[in-house]
Structure 1
Amino acid sequence: MVDRLFLEKELFGRLGWFIKMRWGFIAGLLLATLLCRLFGVDLPYRGILAVGGLIFIYNLGFFLRHRAIERRGIHYAWRAQRAANLQICADYLSLTAVVHYGGGVDNPFILLYLLHVMIGSLMLRRPQVWAQGLFAFLLFLSVVLLEYHGVLPHYAVGELGPRYQSAWYILAVSAALLVTLCSLIYMSSAIIQDLRDREARITQASALLEKKSSDLEAANRELREKQHQLVQSEKLVSLGRLSAGMAHEINNPIQFIQGNMRILGEAMDSMLPVVDRHAEAHPGFKVARLSYPVFRQHIATLLKDMSSGTVRIADIVRDLKKFARSEEPSVADPVDLNESVGASLRLVHNKIKRHKVICELDPDLPRIPGSASKIGQVIVANLINAAEALGDRQDGVIELRTSTGPDGRVSLCIADNGPGMTEEVQQRLFDPFFTTKQNSGGMGLGLSVAYGIIKDHQGSIEVDSKLGEGTTLTLSFPPARSEGA
């Protein structure tokens, strides 16, 4: 079967070509009439010119209709086929009139029936071509029979004699025309139909190839995304191993320092009364180039800060190890979202310390099923994006809020008062390799990977951003089953 879209486009184009060809026929008819008149051929010129004028009028109508449809740009196969049938039928009627006025059975314009058969084969389906050929033959046969019986006058061409009154001559010409018509219809329609079928198959194969190419491109794009995710995972695995080694190497001296700090604190508690009495006896007494009262006032704070610093170092190493540890993307472990927020804030402290950070964490927040390290990656990525959006502005604010919705879903909102995003950027925010930070080396994978992690946790991520006002990202997760509503 010929593809319908192929028929619509091809048939409409061939109709325009057919209309142009008819203009040429009208010019040829006028030229032939003029030559016959110049050479003194006796013909009913008024009738022939009337037929030519009729052809001109209906061809003008076909031309205007075709242009109107072409401007609208809407093509329908059934309309084009109806127009083609109408035009060919009109031409057969006009051609039969020309045959009648130009000598009837002796008219050489009979060959134009064959031309229209070939044109019909190019424009119509095979059954329609056969019907049109039969219609043309019946028109010709009707005219010659009506002339034979004297119903219509016969216009002789030259000195051909009364051959139109010979039944055998009419039968021979009619049979020859019928055989020629049938043979031509069979051969031309078979050839054209085969060409149409082949072209339709080529069109379908081309469409299939385009679809395969599109699918392959999508697969390659997904493969590149997975490859980059794998590279990132490998980096995290290496970071996890490095963090494990760092934790072991750092925790030992940290524990040593913490133990010594406790001993030093106890020693200071025992030594200070003795030093106090010495300072009373020697008013100018100094410790580490500081007057003793200043040293006495700040020594406890110094020791406390040192102890707190060692605890912070241990926490950072533990958070880094947890963030980058090698693990399968399991979403079955219960995760404390508030704890993940705190760990992420400690990891990016140096990145966001110039901005004001506001945390409103729900203390009764239920746990969510998932991977603490993966969720930490999402929070860290969004905190870094918020800090980079704020840049060096002095009034930058980053807000983090956790809450539980009426449906039991757990939400985390990360908001900033940065420049915001355009609608176009928001629509492509989670597309792989889309980034607005090309100059700073951005690859456009951070939020794409984050989006994939959220989806793996059956969660959702929403973006609300307005230019000049800032951006709010809302992460939503289902609660753990044991704690669900």
Structure 2
Amino acid sequence: LAVSGGLFLYSYYSGETVSGGLFLYSYYSGKYQRCYLITIVMIFLIVFPVMFFTSGGYHGGMPAFFVFAIIFTVLMLEKRRALIVSLLEIVLYIGLCLVAYHFPHIVTPFATEADRLADILLAFVSVSTVCGIVLYFHLKEYNQQQLLLEEQNRRLRSLDNAKSTFLTTVAHEIKNPLSSISLHARDTSELLEEEPLDFSLMQENLRTIEQSVMRIDRIVLDLMDTVSIEQGRLALSLVPSDLGALLHSVEKDFSSHPSSGNNQLVLTIQSDLPEISADPERLIQVITNLISNADRHTQNGTITISLTGEPGWQTICVSDTGTGMSEEMRKNALKGYVSADKDYWRHGIGLYVCHQIITAHGGKIWLKSQEGEGTQVFFSLPEEES
């Protein structure tokens, strides 16, 4: 009896130790199915049969452990595997009871009724505790998955709404310059049929058409760059670049076309700044984008571009005296076009592209804006090689 009792206790505590260790491992590693299967094979199909014959057979508390084993298997294993293993357990446990019934001498009996009662109570407490732990972690995992699923569905709905708004707004943004092109082209065609020819009015129509084409080109370029950024394909061709010369080039291009908002461009450049390693075409794209945004949201005002230097950095600021942005729009302006606000795209997608280009140079970009008081967009680039 002493040997049998020792074997029972050794099997019981070994099983409890292995089970607890596997539960902790599965909780922290996430490999639940593997741990569940190991638990079932080692404890339910090996340890439990040994415990059955060394602790009074079906006269003790082992039937409670059998019930627990089947419940655990059904809850923890998936689909067909759960059905097969649980049926195997049922057959095994029925067979153990039949063997104990026909060959009672191989079952270690309880020395006293008190030992039997203690075994039943121990089985009850152990099964209740382990079942509670298993159900707790199982339900916790289920609830976490439900929360993740709800959050994913919410994001998908938000993205779907943003996509619809984005496509509608892009269509609207392209339709406006297309309408302008159509209107001024038709007007020019009619002017060609009049006598005498009004060349000044035709030239004005052609400039307006050119501005509309450039606007469409910037929209398409921003869209292409957005796709490249999201796919990780934004490439730079770094060469020694003079930012002051780049700003003069942009100013000359701006001055050659009438401002759509009748704005004045002012350029302030700190002298004697060294060249930096940069992609000049991309920087011109950034500056042009910022000026275009400022020009579209400013009427009869001033757009100021400044270049200053400090140890290791050169900073460009494009400021305007226009309508400015709300606090919410300012916080999200560099994050792309995912927004339900139709007006946001008109500020945001160009700034998002600018943000990615400056970041790719190893620089940083930020903005200050207040509704009714204009906007300032700053970006700094390192003087050392990116």
- Asked if these proteins are the same fold (TM beyond 0.5), I'd say no
Which structure has the larger Rg over C-alpha atoms?
1
Give TM-score scaled by structure 1 length: 0.36
Q: Which has the higher contact order (CA 8 A, sep 6+)?
A: 2
